Amino acid sequence: MNKYQIAQKKPLTPEITQISVYAPLVAAKAKAGQFIILRVSEEGERIPLTISNAENDLVTVIYQKIGGTTLALDELNEGDCLHDFVGPLGVPTEVEDLGRVAVLGGGLGCAIALPVARALHQAGNQVDLIGGFKTKDIVILEEEMSKACTDLHICTDDGTYGYHGFVTGKLEELIAGGVKFDHVFAIGPLMMMKFACKLTEKYNIPTTVSMNPIMIDGTGMCGCCRLTVGGEVKFACVDGPDFDGHKVDFDEVIARNATYKEFEAKAKEKHLCRLGGGAMNG
């Protein structure tokens, strides 16, 4: 098999795809919470993607088609090769015997919550994995998540499957029912992590958040993933991506992150126009 060859490609939803890339050196060292940086082509941009699984010389990542690079990535098929695939990067999630823990995953964040829950479960913890999605049709990795925890709780915003409501609602329901969590890990959209931390702070439960949503360059050079943690400036890609959620200034991060959405939308539009032009000219 060639270096960085896509060995497996599997669509999980119309917008989310899973690929497994042949990268033996990365697979041998990867730990829960770490990420890779890839380039589709020599002229392409670098993007960080969290490692969902690593075994048998293959590294699995999951991406959502939201910008030009992920659309270009999705044009590749099994047998095609990536130009670059570097990792593992970032500080691994601290995995220890904590007792009973809850791992919250929001949407695509479930792809990152999966290896964290698996590692915690293998370390002897009782793990409640709470996965949240907008609706039943876009639930991903349910079978894999069920094997990576003690109890799996699927939540949908519209109530079409599992618990009707947000992951924070399910977490509070469990706490109100008498469950005593020793630690909570929240992984997903910034707003979800913010409100998860507000909830756990109320119950005095230590909480770790993964700030991968704000990573762009992946090396700390661009500075876009800077955040304030306990009054100090940190960089998600080199100091994290895991941080004490009760010390993160989420309002600052959310406000700055919103400024990149317009750029991402323009990159996606440009890519789609190129595809359309190619089709008309070809």
Q: Give the annotated binding-site residues for FAD.
A: 62-64
* Cβ neighbourhood burial of 46 (10 Å; 0-12, 13-18, 19+): middle
Residues in contact with 120: Cβ distance below 8 Å, sequence separation at least 6, in sequence order: 95, 98, 101, 103, 127, 185
Whether 60 contacts 20, CB under 8 Å: yes
Could you tell me the two tokens for 89?
A: 């990067």
Binding residues for [2Fe-2S] cluster: 222, 225, 237
Alpha carbons 184 and 18: distance in angstroms, whole number: 26
* Cβ neighbourhood burial of 261 (10 Å; 0-12, 13-18, 19+): exposed
Neighbours of 231 (CB within 10 A): 7
Side chain identity at residue 260, one-letter code? Y
Q: Which of 166, 159, 163 is closest to 194 using CA atoms?
A: 166
* Cβ neighbourhood burial of 55 (10 Å; 0-12, 13-18, 19+): exposed
Binding residues: 62-64, 222, 225, 237
Backbone angles phi, psi at 92, to 5 degrees: -60, 155
Whether 27 contacts 59, CB under 8 Å: yes
Which residues are 84's β-sheet partners?
Answer: 39
